[in-house]
Structure 1
Amino acid sequence: MTESARPKAFWPRQMIPPTPESFKELARDGGERLAAVSLAQIPAIPAGAKIHDNGCGSGAATTAIMASLPPGVAASISITGTDISRGAVDSYRARAGSSSWPAEGLVMDADSLSFPDETFTHSFGNAMIFVGPRNNGVDAVKEMHRTLKPGGTLLLNCFGHNNVLEPIRKASRATRSDGILPEWDSFEQWTDPSLIAGIVEAGGFEKEAIKVVQCHMFVNVGNYERATTLVWSMRGMPSGGWTEEDEEKWDEAVEIVRRELQQTDGFRMLDDGTAEVKYPVIVVTATK
């Protein structure tokens, strides 16, 4: 089939387009909050620390690190942010420059780091382990272990449960004649804390040096009507693509997402029309 003859994708007219800005709006400050609750599980970062922000994105973990440090310590450390996405690294570099971070950004695959052995005192993977590395993250952890100094600290995290997944599934079943589920249908395996702990052990860390903590965070998702429309727009598309049926039943589907998300543990509707959603978090730390 020629490119000109290929059928065009159908986009429901109510859909918020999937742009980098839309995904950023959907995430809000969730990455920074995830990093902050995770950093609380390790001792305070000391002066002179050399930190690897692995899978840095636009700098959520680095933002939380810098916010946690007194000025004297912040001026003495160095941070290297790496990501396989050039666009993410460009964003990280721009943010580092505008925020005067002691940081550099490099394009690099987490599974094959180019740093020498024993380079860093701390190696952080904020929302990284479950979204990209191959071999279920084991190869990435091996590289983090290799590049940590003896006595260095590893920190990884993941969501213990994704609160919007089941509301999206219910909306899919209720509004699609074939009940097809959304293309985005992940995270179940990561709800077991022993999974990520086992990955860290398989990556080279001694079992006795691994600590698992389950905690939670709250994220204000902004205007609730807008936020739930974003959730369905960004996460509700079935594997075969949107259909005219999705457009016809768009309002019904979004209302189901809206109603079901309100039933999740810890949900809080605020007087200003915004809402806070509670996210369980699993944090794994290890010492080399």
Structure 2
Amino acid sequence: MTESARPKAFWPRQMIPPTPESFKELARDGGERLAAVSLAQIPAIPAGAKIHDNGCGSGAATTVIMASLPPEVAASISITGTDISRGAVDSYRARAASSSWPAEGLVMDADSLSFPDETFTHSFGNAMIFVGPRNNGIDAVKEMHRTLKPGGTLLLNCFGHNNVLEPIRKASRETRAGGILPEWDSFEQWTDPSLIASIVEAGGFEKEAIKVIPCHMFVNIGNYERATTLVWSMRGMPSGGWREEDEEKWDEAVDIVRRELQQTEEFRMLNDGTAEVKYPVIVVTATK
């Protein structure tokens, strides 16, 4: 089939286009909040620390690290942010320059780090382990273990539950022929704390040195109508792509997402029309 004859993807006219800006709007400050609740589980970062922000994105974890440090400590540390996405690293570098971070950004695969053995005192993977590395993250953890100094600290996290998954599934079942479910599955396997603990152990850390800590964070998702339209636009697409029936039943599907999310115990509507959602979080720390 020639390129000109290839069927064009169908996009419902009501959907918000999936751009980096719309995904950033969907995430809000969730990356920073996730980093903050995770960082609180380890001792304060000391002077002279050499930190690896693995899967750095645009710098959520580095932002929180820098905000947590007194000026004299901040002036003595170094941070290396790495990400497989060149666009993310470009954003990280720009943010580092504008914020005067003691940080550099490098394009690098988490499964194959180019650093020498025993380079870092701290290795952080904020919202990293469940979104990119192959082999269920074991290879990435092996690399984090290799590049940590003896006595160094590993910090990983994942979500213990995703509040919007079931509302999206219900909207899919009730508005689509055959009840076709969304392609997005919220990385559901990661909600089991024993999984990430077993991956850290398989990556080379001693079982006795691993701590699994259940936590939670609150995220204000903004204007509720806008936020739920974003959720359905970014997460509701069925396997195989959007269909014309999705456009026809768009309003019905979004209304279901709104209704069902409001009924979860983690949800709270605020007086200003925005909504706050509580997210369970699993934090794992380990010492080499």
TM-score with structure 1 setting the length: 0.99
Q: What's the CA shift for 1:191?
A: 1.1
C-alpha distance in structure 2 between counterparts of 1:5 and 1:129, whole Å: 39
Report if aligned partners of 2:47, 2:77 keep a CA contact under 8 Å in 1: yes
Q: Secondary structure at the match of 2:264?
A: coil
Report if aligned partners of 2:163, 2:266 keep a CA contact under 8 Å in 1: no
C-alpha distance in structure 2 between counterparts of 1:265 and 1:60, whole Å: 27
Partner in structure 2 of residue 277 of structure 1: 277
| Residues 169-180 of structure 1 mapped to structure 2, 5 A cutoff | 169-180=169-180
Partner in structure 2 of residue 5 of structure 1: 5
Q: What's the CA shift for 1:266?
A: 2.3
What is the RMSD computed on CA atoms of the aligned residues?
A: 0.6
Partner in structure 2 of residue 186 of structure 1: 186
Q: What's the CA shift for 1:186?
A: 3.3
C-alpha distance in structure 1 between counterparts of 2:27 and 2:197, whole Å: 26
C-alpha distance in structure 2 between counterparts of 1:262 and 1:62, whole Å: 33
Q: What's the CA shift for 1:262?
A: 1.0
C-alpha distance in structure 2 between counterparts of 1:125 and 1:136, whole Å: 14
Report if aligned partners of 1:167, 1:261 keep a CA contact under 8 Å in 2: yes
Comparing 231-240 with 263-272, greater Cα deviation is found at 263-272
Report if aligned partners of 2:51, 2:78 keep a CA contact under 8 Å in 1: yes
C-alpha distance in structure 1 between counterparts of 2:71 and 2:199, whole Å: 35
| Residues 175-214 of structure 1 mapped to structure 2, 5 A cutoff | 175-214=175-214
Q: Secondary structure at the match of 2:280?
A: strand
Q: Describe the superposition over 1:72-101 as per-residue Cα deviations: whole angstroms up to 9, x where unpaired.
A: 111111000000000000000001011111
Q: What's the CA shift for 1:177?
A: 1.2
Q: What's the CA shift for 1:265?
A: 2.2
C-alpha distance in structure 2 between counterparts of 1:276 and 1:204, whole Å: 38
Q: Secondary structure at the match of 1:45?
A: coil
Q: Secondary structure at the match of 1:178?
A: helix
Q: What's the CA shift for 1:119?
A: 0.2
C-alpha distance in structure 1 between counterparts of 2:220 and 2:114, whole Å: 38
**Unaligned 5+ runs, structure 1:** none
C-alpha distance in structure 2 between counterparts of 1:264 and 1:107, whole Å: 39
Q: What's the CA shift for 1:185?
A: 1.3
Q: What's the CA shift for 1:60?
A: 0.6
C-alpha distance in structure 1 between counterparts of 2:95 and 2:157, whole Å: 23
Q: What's the CA shift for 1:244?
A: 1.0
C-alpha distance in structure 1 between counterparts of 2:119 and 2:45, whole Å: 16
Report if aligned partners of 2:268, 2:277 keep a CA contact under 8 Å in 1: yes
| Structure 1 outlier segments of 4+, above 3 Å | none
Report if aligned partners of 1:270, 1:276 keep a CA contact under 8 Å in 2: yes
Q: What's the CA shift for 1:188?
A: 1.8
C-alpha distance in structure 2 between counterparts of 1:78 and 1:191, whole Å: 32
Q: Describe the superposition over 1:123-169 as per-residue Cα deviations: whole angstroms up to 9, x where unpaired.
A: 00000000010100000000000000000000000000111111100
C-alpha distance in structure 1 between counterparts of 2:164 and 2:69, whole Å: 33
Matched-pair identity in %: 94
Partner in structure 1 of residue 62 of structure 2: 62
Q: Secondary structure at the match of 1:124?
A: strand
Comparing 4-13 with 182-191, greater Cα deviation is found at 182-191
C-alpha distance in structure 2 between counterparts of 1:195 and 1:150, whole Å: 25
Q: What's the CA shift for 1:70?
A: 1.0
C-alpha distance in structure 2 between counterparts of 1:136 and 1:266, whole Å: 28
TM-score with structure 2 setting the length: 0.99
C-alpha distance in structure 2 between counterparts of 1:136 and 1:58, whole Å: 23
Q: Secondary structure at the match of 2:198?
A: helix
C-alpha distance in structure 1 between counterparts of 2:89 and 2:187, whole Å: 25
Q: What's the CA shift for 1:187?
A: 2.0
C-alpha distance in structure 1 between counterparts of 2:81 and 2:9, whole Å: 36
Partner in structure 2 of residue 126 of structure 1: 126
Q: Secondary structure at the match of 2:113?
A: coil
C-alpha distance in structure 1 between counterparts of 2:51 and 2:136, whole Å: 23
Comparing 262-271 with 122-131, greater Cα deviation is found at 262-271
**Unaligned 5+ runs, structure 2:** none
Q: Secondary structure at the match of 1:233?
A: helix
Q: Secondary structure at the match of 2:182?
A: coil
Q: What's the CA shift for 1:270?
A: 0.5
Q: Describe the superposition over 1:27-71 as per-residue Cα deviations: whole angstroms up to 9, x where unpaired.
A: 000000000000000000001100000000000100110111111
Report if aligned partners of 1:161, 1:187 keep a CA contact under 8 Å in 2: no
Q: Describe the superposition over 1:177-219 as per-residue Cα deviations: whole angstroms up to 9, x where unpaired.
A: 1210011113221111010000000000000000000010000
Partner in structure 1 of residue 148 of structure 2: 148
